[in-house]
């Protein structure tokens, strides 16, 4: 597998397309190892900088292995008491709860997400995901591969 050597951040990625002439785009299975970890996928910091978030990690399931998909699929997990950044940006998100439950502020609404609840967050909507509960809040997040940098709102 080809590994991307540029720093990875939830904030924004310039794209993870293979270099010209390299053929890394092929079908792959990432076996689930249990406990919301996948074979060949490393757990990463949520963001490299900033301090308006806490106790959150991510794994990029599709988007960092040389795929040419126009979307990325990422798994985030927020520990009890943790949260994502409060931010907004031009790109949209699809968030699917797959572990525990959590709360999401999107615009002026507060949502409680439970197993398999799916939330669409529209472009330019201020949002934050939080876990005020006693178990981890894990969710899949699908975004465009090419996207703008988030604007922190705190």
pLDDT one-digit tens code per residue, 1-20: 334 333 334 444 444 444 45
The residues that are catalytic are 141
Residue 88 has pLDDT above 60, yes or no: yes
- How many CB atoms sit inside 10 A of residue 10's CB? 23
Q: What is the CATH number of the domain that holds 115?
A: 2.60.120.10
User: Tokens representing 110?
Assistant: 């507060």
In a domain, 60, yes or no: yes
**Residue range 119-143: average pLDDT?**
98
Are 123 and 143 within 8 A, CB to CB? no
pLDDT digits (tens, 9 = 90+) for 127-138: 999 999 999 999
Note the pTM of the prediction, 2 decimals: 0.84
Going by pLDDT thresholds of 50, 70 and 90, the confidence category of residue 112 is very high
What is the gyration radius of the CA atoms in the chain, in angstroms? 15
DSSP assigned state of 25: -
Does 69 fall in a domain? yes
Asked if residue 93 belongs to a domain, the reply is yes
Q: Do the domain assignments include residue 115? A: yes
Q: How many domains does the chain have?
A: 1
102 occurs within a structural domain: yes
- Read off the pLDDT band of 21 (50, 70, 90): low
- Residue-wise pLDDT for 30-80, tens only, equals 999 999 999 999 999 898 777 789 999 999 999 988 899 999 999 999 999
Structural domain contains residue 36: no
Residue 123 lies in a domain: yes
Contact 4, 22 (CB under 8 A): no
Residue 98: which domain range? 53-146
Phi, psi of 96 (to 5 degrees): -125, 115
Cβ burial of 30 (10 Å; 0-12, 13-18, 19+) is middle
Q: Is the pLDDT confidence value at 122 over 90?
A: yes
pLDDT at 86: 96
Query: Which of these, 65, 24, 25, lies nearest to 42 by C-alpha position?
Result: 65
Give me the helices (H) in the chain, please.
Answer: none
Give domain status of residue 153, yes or no: no
Q: How many other C-beta atoms lie within 10 A of the C-beta of residue 21?
A: 5
CB 127 within 8 A of CB 153: no
In this structure, the strands spanning 137-144 and 71-83 are antiparallel
């Amino acid at each position: 597998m080809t590994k991307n050597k540029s720093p990875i951040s939830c904030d924004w990625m310039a794209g993870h397309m293979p270099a010209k002439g390299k053929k890394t785009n092929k079908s792959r299975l990432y076996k689930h190892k249990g406990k919301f970890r996948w074979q060949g996928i490393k757990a990463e910091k949520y963001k490299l900088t900033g301090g308006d978030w806490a106790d959150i990690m991510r794994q990029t399931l599709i988007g960092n292995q040389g795929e040419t998909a126009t979307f990325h699929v990422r798994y985030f997990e927020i520990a009890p008491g943790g949260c994502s950044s409060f931010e907004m940006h031009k790109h949209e998100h699809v968030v699917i709860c797959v572990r525990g439950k959590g709360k999401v502020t999107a615009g002026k609404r507060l949502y409680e997400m439970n197993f398999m609840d799916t939330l669409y967050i529209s472009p330019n909507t201020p949002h934050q995901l939080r876990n005020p509960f006693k178990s981890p809040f894990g969710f899949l997040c699908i975004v465009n591969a090419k996207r703008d940098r988030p604007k922190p709102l705190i």
